[in-house]
Amino acid sequence: MPELPEVESARVAIERAGLGRRIVEVDDSDRYECRPHLPGEIRAALLGRRLTAAHRRGKSMWCQTSDAGPDLGIHLGMSGRILISGPSSGQGAGEVVEGGDYAGPATGRPALDVWFRFTLAFADGGTLRLLDKRRLGRVRLDPDLSALGPDAQSVDRAEFRARVGKGTAPLKARLLDQSVLAGVGNLLADQALWQSRLAPRRPAGALTATELDRLHDELRAAIDDAVRNGGVHTGSVVAYRKAGRHCPRCGTEMACATVGGRTTWWCPAEQR
């Protein structure tokens, strides 16, 4: 599913191309994507308003709206992407800005209209659309983020140590717990642990302060690299998360097990 870097790319797309444009129509008819709101409820709340700011914590994204309107929460689910088209004429006409889940190599096949689950239409003729082939995203007003921990990209060392470095849960499971730290998914966790040379099955509370600081710094580096390079799929160890592949640092065959309910790969020689 989209992890923090992919959601950040969607947030940046909205910030770049979706702010300040007056909303004249809203398609919120998909009852599953827009639950618990009834069709027309989100539309009534947003008509005539503008998106004024785009925010993110972990994998959750929301936009402020003008005139003290409600926040618009957009969760990308397992495979969501945001596509924002420019005005129908003038500067930016025909331009499409997008972000979200990695779509894979271009195939030349257009997305099916049925995959667009939510749409804002702007007065200038452009749109903001949520493309969600698997229909697992969510659009809601004033989303509740109280259960989320601090954002994994911005948490400082001290808070990271206090939140991650305790308990008997496996270290990877601790990283994946969104109430502990928001934004780390399966690939990002494997990448950060490999960069830190830490075993995913070690009890989180057994790590030293030095090890936790190293993990904090390497997690931040992995996030920054993924944001810069286009997503978590670009991580230097991700391509080696397969049977028979070998650690790109030392050549040891990669090990695999289920940790924290997720398929996990690591180098058994270096990650201890």
Residues marked as catalytic: 2-3, 59, 262
Three-state DSSP state, 94 = coil
Nearest to 47 by CA among 102, 97, 122, 112: 122
Decide: 180 and 161 in contact? Cβ < 8 Å.
Answer: no
Long-range contacts formed by 67-71: CB under 8 A, 24+ apart? 69/45, 70/45, 70/46, 70/141, 70/142, 71/141, 71/142, 71/143
Residue 128 φ/ψ, nearest 5 degrees: -120, 125
Instruction: Please report the sign of the dihedral spanned by the C-alpha atoms of residue 122, residue 133, residue 177, residue 162.
Output: negative
Task: Give the distance between the most distant pair of CA atoms in the chain.
Answer: 60
Decide: 257 and 264 in contact? Cβ < 8 Å.
Answer: yes
Angle at 88 between CA 85 and CA 94, to 5 degrees: 50
Give the helix/strand (H/E) hosting 57. strand 51-57
